[in-house]
Amino acid sequence: MDTAKDARVLILEDALKRLDEIISNRKLKFHIDYGLLGKAVQRANGFFYEVKFSYIDPKSLAEMSSTNQLVSSIHEVGEAFHKALKSTGYSPNTPKDALTLAEMEYSLRIVGGFQNRLLNFSDDPAFAVDLLAVEIGHVEQIAGSKNLTLCRCSDGKQRWQIVTNLQDIKSGMRLPCAVLPPAEMMGVVSEAMFLGLEELGDSYEIGPLSKPSPKALDSARGQVMQIIKRLM
């Protein structure tokens, strides 16, 4: 396995860079121990280069000591982040601050699921991020926009906010989506992206996307490759 070019490893690298940038620049607008967070991210970055240039098979990489220690270090960041968020009762006041929180959550999710992606998914770049089946709840037009719609969705465990320019989006639809780096559009933060308008149907269980269609995989693959290109 060429770990230096594997999409799962490169998406992990991108997530670590996002965490480092947020913590180094103290972008979180509530009281938190930046010293603890900074040391944990620094440890994780040290282990990352052993992971990236290990050139071993996925199972061995998932079980490697450096991988375990990297994930454990970022788990510490996540625990401290969520504890501080809860204790302060913080709620973002601006789209920029909301985007920072969404980037934290995205990056923590990527690191936390890294070993699972190695053990249970192929090296297809589409599987370097999480693919979900979600049900759309509330739908509304974004103020000031002609073609952007805000959809509030659920995967059965978590609620997602997805901004889309797809037409004919309706409440109750079940659609495939990819959890991608969040983006702010017209003052609203989007936490994922629909992988087209192929309805999954009422019988399709929401949650991790089982048996993604070729179109959904193509769409996810393209988005992942765009993230990887920005690393180069």
Tens of pLDDT along 194-213?
Answer: 999 999 988 899 999 988 99
pLDDT, residue 80, reads: 98
Residue given tokens 């913080």 in the structure block:
90
Band the pLDDT of 104: cuts 50, 70, 90: very high
pLDDT, residue 203, reads: 85
Over 90: is that where the pLDDT of 146 sits?
Answer: no
The token duo for 127 is 């599987």
Residues 181, 179: Cα–Cα separation, whole Å: 7
The token duo for 58 is 């996925």
Element spanning 138, H or E:
strand 131-141
pTM of the predicted model, to two decimals? Answer: 0.96
Over 90: is that where the pLDDT of 156 sits?
Answer: yes
Over 90: is that where the pLDDT of 43 sits?
Answer: yes
Over 90: is that where the pLDDT of 232 sits?
Answer: no
Q: Which residues pair with 179 in a beta bridge?
A: none
Q: How far is CA 71 from CA 10, 11, 65, in A?
A: 15, 14, 10
Q: How far is CA 74 from CA 8, 24, 38, 60, 148, in A?
A: 16, 15, 10, 20, 34
Band the pLDDT of 119: cuts 50, 70, 90: very high
| Three-state DSSP class for residue 88 | helix
Closest CA to 153 of 87, 166, 114: 166
Band the pLDDT of 14: cuts 50, 70, 90: very high
Give the CA dihedral 165, 167, 169, 173, nearest 10 degrees: -110
Residues 145, 66: Cα–Cα separation, whole Å: 47
The predicted model gives 135-152 an average pLDDT of 94
The predicted model gives 148-176 an average pLDDT of 96
Average pLDDT taken over every residue of the chain = 96
pLDDT digits (tens, 9 = 90+) for 50-65: 999 999 999 999 999 9
- Domains, in order of start, for the chain: 7-126 (1.20.1440.150), 130-211 (2.40.50.140)
pLDDT, residue 228, reads: 97
